[in-house]
Homo-oligomer: A and B are copies of this chain.
Amino acid sequence: MPLNVEKISSNRAFGGEFNKYKFNSPVLGGTTTQFNVFIPAQASEKLSPVLYYFAGLTCNEDTGAWKGGFIRDAAEEGIALVFPDTSPRGAGVEGEDESWDFGSAAGFYINATNSKWSKQYNMYDHIVKELPEAIKELGIALDLSRSSLMGHSMGGHGALSIYLKNLDKFRSASAFSAIFNPSNPECQWGRKAFSGYLNGGQEEGKSSDATELIRTVKGQKVAILADYGDADKFYQEKQLLPENFVAAAKEAGFDESQVQVRSRPGYDHSYYFISTFAPAHIKFHAQHLREY
Q: A residues engaging B (CB < 8 A)?
A: 11-15, 18, 66-67, 69, 71-72, 229, 231, 266-268, 270-273, 275-276, 279
Contacts and interface: CB of A to CB of B under 8 A. Distances in A.
A231 B12 contact: yes
Contacts of A229: 12
- Protomer copies: 2
A12 B69 contact: no
A231 B270 CA distance: 33
Contacts of A231: 12
Main secondary structure of the interface of A (DSSP, over half): mixed
Contacts of A13: 272-273, 275-276
A77 to B, nearest CB: 16
Nearest to A277: B14
A287 B18 CA distance: 31
Nearest to A11: B272
A14 B277 CA distance: 8
Contacts of A267: 12
A15 B276 contact: yes
